[in-house]
């Protein structure tokens, strides 16, 4: 793929760390330090969501869920290694992504964001897997509500995380009008394991090994359908560590927190180095 005019679409379920990532990346780009890999090209038109992140982190507090329909689209125009990149996040709260998988429907804004993108970043928070589709929880709810359903009917409504992500990618590819006749090489996919700080038993493991361990079917789906060089798996922790929603941590310095783990498992404290990965420069 030509690495000019890169337009990256960031996609992730609710609670996967999207707002935190954009807020922290924006801060690093805006107040770029000397050695940082990338800089902000222009101030984004819509900064409300980004400023909200900064003010929560300034108080040392965890972020609130992005209300559905609260924002339009966040777009960061970036300059990195003499190239222009655009990072796009159609932010309506991650429910829009659930909506796409559950109803196979997509709003117009999403449609054009998918059409105009030539690179995707998919956020997956491993520590959050199975929560929204926890079979026991759903079964308990059905029993409590007194609904009479057969076992098959119940199981039908329980897409596993693996099925969810496969379906999501298939839906996005459908709207991008890319088929499976040959392995995909013209659309780069960066699977990003978010909130890396809270992943357990990760010592010595590379991001792709963790993805394979936690979502083996989805991993297999990806490596079968993507050309090796167009698929990357990395890790990120934009917040750096856990915070509480109500009790602010006075010692938390958001300017110094956050890191990236590249596909070789190497850590970099410069959050803007994610763009180095996008540009295939590490």
Ligand X SMILES: Nc1nc2c(ncn2[C@@H]2O[C@H](COP(=O)(O)OP(=O)(O)OP(=O)(O)O)[C@@H](O)[C@H]2O)c(=O)[nH]1
Of positions 9, 10, 12, 19, contacts Mg ion by CB under 5 A = 19
What's the min distance (Å) between Cβ of 186 and ligand X? 27
Of positions 10, 50, 195, 231, contacts ligand X by CB under 6 A = 195
66 belongs to the binding site for Mg ion (CB under 5 A): yes
16 belongs to the binding site for ligand X (CB under 6 A): yes
Binders of ligand X among 17-46, rule CB under 6 A? 17-20
The smaller minimum CB distance to Mg ion, of residues 22 and 120, is found at: 22
Q: In this structure, are residues 84 and 41 in contact, taking their beta carbons and an 8 Å threshold?
A: yes
Task: Identify the H or E element spanning 190.
Answer: strand 188-193
Q: In this structure, are residues 163 and 55 in contact, taking their beta carbons and an 8 Å threshold?
A: no
Give the one entry of Mg ion, ligand X, none that residue 20 binds, where binding means its C-beta sits below a cut-off of 5 to 8 angstroms depending on kind: ligand X
Of positions 10, 12, 124, 169, contacts ligand X by CB under 6 A = 12
Alpha-carbon span 205 to 69, nearest angstrom: 38
118 belongs to the binding site for Mg ion (CB under 5 A): no
The smaller minimum CB distance to ligand X, of residues 266 and 280, is found at: 266
CA dihedral of residues 180, 168, 75, 125 (deg, nearest 10) = -120
Alpha-carbon span 50 to 56, nearest angstrom: 10
The smaller minimum CB distance to Mg ion, of residues 128 and 209, is found at: 128
Which of 277, 258, 241 is CA-nearest to residue 62? 241
Q: For residue 279, which phi and psi values (nearest 5 degrees)? A: -85, 10
The contact set with ligand X (CB under 6 A) reads: 12, 14-20, 62-63, 65-66, 93-94, 195, 197-198, 237-239, 241-243
């Amino acid at each position: 793929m030509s690495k000019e005019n890169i337009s990256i679409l960031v996609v992730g379920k609710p609670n996967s760390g999207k707002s935190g990532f954009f807020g922290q990346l924006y801060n690093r780009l805006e107040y770029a330090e000397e050695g940082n890999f990338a800089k902000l090209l222009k101030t984004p038109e819509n900064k409300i969501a980004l400023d909200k992140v900064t003010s929560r982190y300034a108080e040392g507090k965890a972020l609130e869920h992005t209300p559905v329909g609260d924002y339009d689209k966040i777009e960061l125009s970036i300059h990195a290694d003499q190239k222009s990149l655009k990072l796009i996040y159609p932010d309506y709260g991650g429910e829009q992504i659930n909506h796409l998988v559950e109803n196979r429907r997509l709003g117009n804004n999403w449609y054009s964001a998918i059409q105009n993108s030539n690179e995707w970043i998919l956020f997956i928070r491993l520590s959050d897997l199975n929560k929204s589709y926890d079979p026991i929880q759903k079964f308990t709810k059905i029993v409590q509500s007194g609904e009479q359903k057969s076992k098959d009917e119940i199981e039908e409504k329980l897409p596993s995380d693996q099925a969810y992500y496969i379906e999501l990618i298939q839906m996005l590819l459908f709207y991008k009008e890319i088929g499976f006749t040959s392995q995909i090489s013209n659309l780069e996919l960066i699977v990003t394991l978010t909130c890396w700080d809270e992943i357990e038993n990760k010592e010595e493991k590379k991001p792709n090994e963790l993805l394979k361990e936690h979502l083996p079917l989805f991993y297999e789906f990806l490596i079968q359908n993507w050309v090796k060089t167009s698929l990357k798996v990395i890790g990120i922790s934009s917040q750096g560590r856990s915070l509480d929603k109500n009790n602010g941590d006075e010692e938390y310095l958001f300017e110094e927190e956050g890191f990236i783990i590249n596909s070789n498992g190497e850590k970099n404290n410069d959050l803007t180095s994610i763009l180095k990965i996008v540009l295939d420069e590490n």
